[in-house]
Structure 1
């Protein structure tokens, strides 16, 4: 039976980042991934010369990647080229108005949209900067292993207004509903409902302005490939096409895993990058499941899911921005339906990523590669995707074609692939097909979320379903927290990885 120091289950961003940190610290680390390629949600699809990122598409907080690479004795910018996006997004509203958001004069852009709200932009951004300064380090970089750890920071959170939602904060500053949506939609990027997500998540506009919004040349998967290269250069081992059947325990402690092939792997620690509910409810045997989480996980709120289209187009669409966000006619009603309703929403929101506008390498010459995301309810909300997908696809394309810049979209499609909530459940093993695992609300955060160090000794979690949450920044922060906890529990590694002097001094 193979023996390692740390076994990491799942090669998503969280699993790879934790593995890279632990391998660099000297622990013999093995990553096992069920799919044929690493990446998890950050998978790559290729067809007829078109290349799509199937999951995350943009980079915020690139400093977190630089921290990760530095921990591995390397320089991120030597491995990955980031291209700045300006504007960050073109936002189109149901009345036909639009605004180019980010990377420029946002107050001026708002003035053209809603003159009465222009002066409030600076006040809103100041309030989000204050929340960032006081809350980000306290909440996002620390493990919350006990309820008492969270209760300790509650008074400060109340002073910051964290009990209010992101939308409520925007409403306090802006009168125009379009502007409110413009400064409150960001929680959707991590599976949060702007009507419910704590105003702590309103820091995203501040982070965007502090570090920018970026695209990785070659797509987000280029970062996955670079992480794998660094991990292997440090002596780490990655096995793909290797699903895990269960985590086994000895005397109540996680001590390895049984693979679907029947092979067992022994380890001193197990780090699961599988969806947190699936780790507890499927990978652990009933006798090993902590009773609290076995009861609570099925009762928690889960993020919305997504309907995705990956389109290859036979011509360029020169009037499009890299990112286009199309707001629904009924913003609040659509959010309520997507998160709490049954059936398909009557109004649709769109996030459209057209990477070939910035990076010609992802499409054949003269063609366009496009990614269309529509927020939809997760599984269990009365939608039979096998039956409804064809008609819904046609509806999505028909509605999108009415948006300025997208005319002639349907007749230009030469390649099309779709990904539904059923695919999230079956192909990515996401609980209830939720695209971002557990919904980020104040009372599903920190110690109220599955913890980085579980109640099963030797078993740790990393990724969207644990603290601090989903999105690439959240997942990278969870990897840093989890790697730190594993190191503290295992003690100093017997073997140290040698770091090149030039890299060490970076």
Structure 2
């Protein structure tokens, strides 16, 4: 292994060699998808270099450290830990030796403005007891719904998530599974067929919002998330999600793979035979036989690939897509601890369907909202100074088609969010604030290079999923591949890890196992 590592180190440091071997790969972006792809390709024998626009790894999983507070910028809900453990095992290591995952209990606390509280857990008996508090008649309906969710998990996740949809025949072979899952229905329709209480319908259908989808539009296949949580649990990482990123970077270090930070890609270089490398923002040219983009797929095609090479992903096709919502995220610290607040809290507003219609369909900025409140110090007090709390609160909002000038609206919107928190779950919050900063849809576009500032790429509608989502192997350019939230199978840590796994079927190994 040592000789192999030395070879990788030398090769990765020489990505500016204009005569690359057929084994050199450049990965654009160091989010979960990019890092997982780099690990897998390195183990296949490729010479891998990772390019990261920001100053540290993670992409949407960036970490902010301010005055003793640790703020995870993005994903904080860890499901399907086996997909992460697999990466460590492939490298001959054990994830639990380096990363401390904690099972959440409850997974989420869902709170309604009328005072009702639902503790969402992984225990079937406890879940039925919670349902019974809301609507005893819906207990049996929940059992039926969970059977449907388990079917979607088996047929949709286990069978299809790591398959690269590169040929139409692949899609045709999945049609029986799609029929069995009633994929033409929305997740809300599926829930409503089994559960009658309006608030319980919200509890069982909000999950697609965590991956950028409107529950009233997203295919019922995504009921698989409910089953995925029940099977593998919902976890958080001691030290924050950034510890997972740090662990994956350490795996790459062990393989001799270099990550170049502050290295924004301005162009993917292509000739008549396919990819030849990339040009960086500073004008430097790096050479490779293959490029894997962990960047937003719409941004990649529209801004990094010359239009003359895009017969499929034309500007017109990109513009016609229906994109996910964006996010307003307020990160804040307090000089007191709110001990009664759980790690993951969903604060549901008075509106559900009409609020989501404003966000996804009308592209308005409503004055009301539902919120996800993340308090990691409920599990790990070390993420804030002693006696303090670290928080972020996330509000789904329209992408930039709303026309909102976030430079003018950010503070007004933040104050409205603060008032809702003070009125419901964090009394006297304003008196205890010590740290405060925000991320808006404009930041998703300008800093994270997401088309229209959409936080999750294309919305995961039926006709924007699987074969219809940007393929893991480019439809337009030989040697270009896609991983991450905006390609198949979609957003969420399990989705982006599966997108990297899908490359196994389209990029051959150079080493014998």
Aligned position for 1:437: 457
1:150 aligns with 2:171: yes
Aligned position for 2:51: 32
How many pairs does the alignment contain? 491
Q: Contact 1:334/1:346 (CA < 8 Å) preserved in 2?
A: no
The 1-side partners of 2:108 and 2:288 are apart by 45
Aligned position for 1:42: 61
Name the SS for the 1:374 alignment partner.
strand
Gaps of at least 5 residues in structure 2 are: 1-15
Aligned position for 1:90: 109
Q: 1:169, CA displacement in angstroms?
A: 0.6
Aligned position for 1:503: none
Name the SS for the 1:492 alignment partner.
coil
The 2-side partners of 1:269 and 1:377 are apart by 35
Name the SS for the 2:308 alignment partner.
helix
1:296 to 287, 310, 317: 317
Aligned position for 1:422: 442
Name the SS for the 2:236 alignment partner.
strand
Q: Contact 1:8/1:15 (CA < 8 Å) preserved in 2?
A: yes
The 1-side partners of 2:441 and 2:219 are apart by 25
The 2-side partners of 1:351 and 1:242 are apart by 33
Q: Structure 1: which 4+ aligned runs deviate by more than 4 Å? A: none
The 1-side partners of 2:145 and 2:279 are apart by 51
The 1-side partners of 2:458 and 2:150 are apart by 26
Aligned position for 1:101: 120
RMSD: 1.4
1:221 to 242, 253, 266: 242
Please say which of residues 74-83 and 443-452 is displaced more in the overlay: 74-83
Q: 1:293, CA displacement in angstroms?
A: 4.1
Q: Contact 1:348/1:374 (CA < 8 Å) preserved in 2?
A: yes
Q: Deviations over 1:270-304 (max 9, x none)?
A: 11111101111111112222344443111111100
Q: 1:155, CA displacement in angstroms?
A: 3.2
Q: Contact 2:483/2:499 (CA < 8 Å) preserved in 1?
A: yes
Q: Contact 1:147/1:448 (CA < 8 Å) preserved in 2?
A: no
Name the SS for the 2:109 alignment partner.
strand
The 2-side partners of 1:382 and 1:27 are apart by 44
Structure-2-length-normalised TM-score: 0.93
Q: Contact 1:8/1:270 (CA < 8 Å) preserved in 2?
A: yes
Q: Contact 1:252/1:288 (CA < 8 Å) preserved in 2?
A: no
Name the SS for the 2:298 alignment partner.
helix
Q: 1:134, CA displacement in angstroms?
A: 2.4
Q: Deviations over 1:65-95 (max 9, x none)?
A: 0112222222111121101100001101122
Aligned position for 2:470: 450
Q: 1:18, CA displacement in angstroms?
A: 0.1
Question: Alpha carbons of 1:206 and 1:381: their partners in 2 closer, same or farther (altered >3 Å)?
Answer: same
The 1-side partners of 2:122 and 2:391 are apart by 22
The 1-side partners of 2:271 and 2:220 are apart by 43
1:18 aligns with 2:37: yes
Name the SS for the 1:438 alignment partner.
coil
Q: Contact 1:21/1:72 (CA < 8 Å) preserved in 2?
A: no
Please say which of residues 148-157 and 172-181 is displaced more in the overlay: 148-157
Q: Deviations over 1:24-60 (max 9, x none)?
A: 2221100011111110000001111110100001210
1:371 aligns with 2:392: yes
Aligned position for 2:182: 161
1:330 aligns with 2:348: no
Name the SS for the 2:45 alignment partner.
coil
1:318 aligns with 2:343: no
